[in-house]
Amino acid sequence: KEMVVKIEREVGVIDILVNNAGIIKRIPMCDMTAEEFREVVDVDLNAPFILSKAVIPGMINKGHGKIINICSMTSELGRETVSAYAAAKGGLKMLTKNIASEYGEYNIQCNGLGPGYIETSQTEALRQESHPFNDFIIGRTPAARWGTPEDMTGPAVFLASEASDFVNGHILYVDGGILATIGKQPKY
């Protein structure tokens, strides 16, 4: 709250909030402690709730605002060793829809971006050519590659702009088509 007050005092009301912070712990669920689970949920779900709650009153007073939550395609698909991450991102997807539902009448749009597998420091170890997961992702993704941070730019600009003023509660998946298919057919 103090941060938002300071920003509003020094710069003005926040027009756009991007909830992008996130962590992942690749631990099998039965080996994960409740504390480790909560840590992921605190960063990936509770923090966007707290930040959104802090900026919405100013957006209401100003008469418009954009909230973009960085969700994940993992909110749609399960995968081993990421139970806390998937649960938090699934919760963030639903928080996105609820903010849109509750505050849309105030000209506030809350949408999400759902990245697929993106080349980041979090995925560096998985992207090694010798790692079987690298081949799995390339083979499973119709674009036949990992996404780049630059692949997220256009969709983020769209959701932050007036072009999306009538888009609300939507998760835009930027995943190279991975959610559209059960996988590529093996070549014979």
Catalytic residues: 85
Q: How many helices (H) and strands (E) does the chain have?
A: 6, 4
| Beta carbons of 17 and 66 less than 8 angstroms apart | yes
Left (φ > 0), alpha (ψ -120 to 50) or beta: where does 71 sit? Answer: beta
Around Cβ 64, how many Cβ atoms within 10 Å? 15
Nearest to 71 by CA among 49, 45, 99, 93: 93
Which residues contact residue 114 at a Cβ distance below 8 angstroms, ignoring those fewer than 6 apart? 71, 72, 73, 75, 76, 93, 171, 172, 173, 174, 175
| Beta carbons of 131 and 125 less than 8 angstroms apart | yes
